Amino acid sequence: MAHQIILKEEVYQKIKEKCLSFYGEKRKDIFAMQQEIMDFPEIPMHYPYHHFILPAVLLTAADVCAGQSEETLRAQLESAEERARNVLGGFCGFYGTCGAAVGVGIFFSVYSDTTPVSKDSWAMCNRATADALHAISEVEGPRCCKRVSFQALYSAAESMKKNLNIEVTVVNDVICHYSHRNLDCKRTECPFFGERAE
């Protein structure tokens, strides 16, 4: 019998509040922001919350870079949450499309106000999602919500610079500190595994 996934409203609210706090601090460091939220005790090692964390962090950094208002970010976070809730747990294996890559697409579509009938931005959103999915697929399974989130962030940062002229803060030496929580950790086969992981 499959494990029932129960998403809690208070967790989504905490993620949004943290992003608004990041916005107040004018932060653009997407990897640090992502990890601070993933460190919440309410965030399991693998869980659909990651499908919202990623676009929420990207929206926050993009709005800081572009000088958007807090009200704009609030509205975008609500929209991103609504969409991310539709990305089920296990999407990567059951649907062949990782939720982190979909999260990149959610960011681009929300940020650019893209709809199913948009023209240029429709293609951009799908390309950004495809690029993220390609980056994620460079490492074999099993799934790891932390690893794929890091991979998706790198891809999203490149796509943001290329398509939106937005340059967020990127670090080149991300080292995962979640390995001890992951029973399926690939360890040295993961590009983010390192001495600090334990």
Residue 187 domain-assigned?
Answer: yes
* Tokens matching residue 75: 């509205």
Residue 132 domain-assigned?
Answer: yes
pTM, full prediction: 0.94
Residue 181 domain-assigned?
Answer: yes
Residue 165 domain-assigned?
Answer: yes
Residue 4 domain-assigned?
Answer: no
Q: Give the bridge partners for 29, in sequence order.
A: 169
Which DSSP state fits 29?
A: B
Note the pLDDT tens digit of each residue in 1-11.
Answer: 355 677 899 99
Where does the pLDDT of residue 120 fall: very low under 50, low under 70, confident under 90, or very high at 90 and above? Answer: confident
Where does the pLDDT of residue 195 fall: very low under 50, low under 70, confident under 90, or very high at 90 and above? Answer: low
Rounded CA-CA distance 43/37 in Å is: 8
- Residue 73 belongs to domain spanning: 9-197
Residue 51 domain-assigned?
Answer: yes
Residue 65 domain-assigned?
Answer: yes
Number of folded domains in the chain?
1
Nearest to 142 by CA among 185, 103, 175: 185
Residue 48 domain-assigned?
Answer: yes
What's the confidence (pLDDT) of residue 3?
57
Give yes or no for residue 197 having a pLDDT over 70: no
Phi, psi of 158 (to 5 degrees): -65, -45
Percentage of the chain lying above the pLDDT 70 cut:
96
Note the pLDDT tens digit of each residue in 39-97.
Answer: 999 999 999 999 999 999 999 999 999 999 999 999 999 999 999 999 999 999 999 99
First to last CA, the chain: 32
* Cα R_g (the chain), whole angstroms: 16
What's the confidence (pLDDT) of residue 1?
38
Q: Give the bridge partners for 169, in sequence order.
A: 29
Segment among 95-104, 151-160, 162-171, 172-181 with least mean pLDDT: 172-181
Strands (E), 56-178: none
Per DSSP, the residues of 65-121 read HHT--HHHHHHHHHHHHHHHTTS-TTHHHHTSS-HHHHHHHHHHHHHTT--TT-SHH
The dihedral built from the CA positions of residue 102, 10, 63 and 69, taken in this order, carries a sign that is positive
